[in-house]
């Protein structure tokens, strides 16, 4: 993950609605990392659908990098990943939030100078219900495994 090169302090933000199946993948990745990743330079937040409620906490941490993990409709195969600077997000239908993630990212960039990226995962099913589809469960495992190696 070249984006993390020269990262001093990292915040991982898991976003999604746990009541809309695959939309919960970002929160589930964050939850997995919270259980298994122990690093003083990495903070992991399970923000669900209100990442803006965590702006104060993120500002106190003063990270150099913020990685937002969320489901996003990009017209790809379910489980496929896209990593992009949050300011560059165009044409992705990101799960519902009170404020757009681009505004969230821009705020952090301006207030603390953090680099903010989105790791978007293409969902398969976002109807009401709990649990991930098989493809998204596999993607969650893959993403968590990669991030454990990169962030440790």
Q: Is residue 52 part of a domain?
A: yes
pLDDT at 85: 85
Residue 105 resides in a domain: no
Neighbours of 2 (CB within 10 A): 5
What's the confidence (pLDDT) of residue 89? 63
Q: Is 61 inside a domain boundary? A: yes
Residue 94 is predicted with a pLDDT of 53
**What is the residue-level pLDDT of the chain in tens, covering all 152 positions?**
588 888 999 999 999 999 999 999 999 999 999 999 999 999 999 999 999 999 999 999 999 999 999 999 888 999 999 998 876 665 555 555 567 788 888 999 999 999 999 999 999 999 999 999 999 999 999 999 999 999 98
Residue 28 domain-assigned (yes or no): yes
Structure tokens belonging to residue 47? 């923000």
Give the residue numbers spanning the domain of 18.
10-90+111-129
pTM: predicted TM-score of the whole model, two decimal places: 0.92
Is residue 106 included in any domain, yes or no? Answer: no
Say what the pLDDT of residue 1 is: 59
Question: Cα 147 vs. chain centroid, distance in angstroms?
Answer: 11
What pLDDT is recorded for position 152? 86
Q: Domain containing 68 — which CATH number?
A: 3.40.50.1450
Nearest CA-CA partner of 68 in 80, 142, 87: 87
- Within-domain flag for 97: no
Does a structural domain hold residue 16?
Answer: yes
Q: What is the pLDDT of residue 102?
A: 83
Q: Total domain count for the chain? A: 1
Q: How many CB atoms lie within 10 A of CB 133?
A: 17
């Amino acid at each position: 993950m070249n984006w993390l090169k020269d990262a001093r302090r990292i915040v991982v933000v898991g976003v999604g609605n746990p009541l809309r199946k695959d939309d919960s993948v970002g929160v589930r990745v964050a939850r997995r990392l919270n259980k298994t990743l122990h690093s003083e330079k990495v903070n992991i937040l399970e923000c669900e659908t209100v990442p803006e409620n965590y702006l104060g906490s993120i500002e106190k941490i003063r990270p150099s990098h913020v990685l937002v993990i969320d489901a996003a409709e990009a017209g790809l195969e379910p489980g496929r990943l896209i990593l992009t600077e949050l300011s560059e997000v165009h044409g992705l239908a990101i799960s519902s939030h009170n404020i757009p993630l681009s505004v969230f990212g821009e705020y952090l960039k301006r207030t603390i100078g953090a680099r903010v990226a989105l790791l978007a995962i293409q969902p398969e099913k976002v109807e009401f219900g709990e649990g991930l589809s098989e493809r998204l469960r596999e993607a969650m495992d893959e993403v968590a495994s990669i991030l454990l190696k990169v962030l440790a």
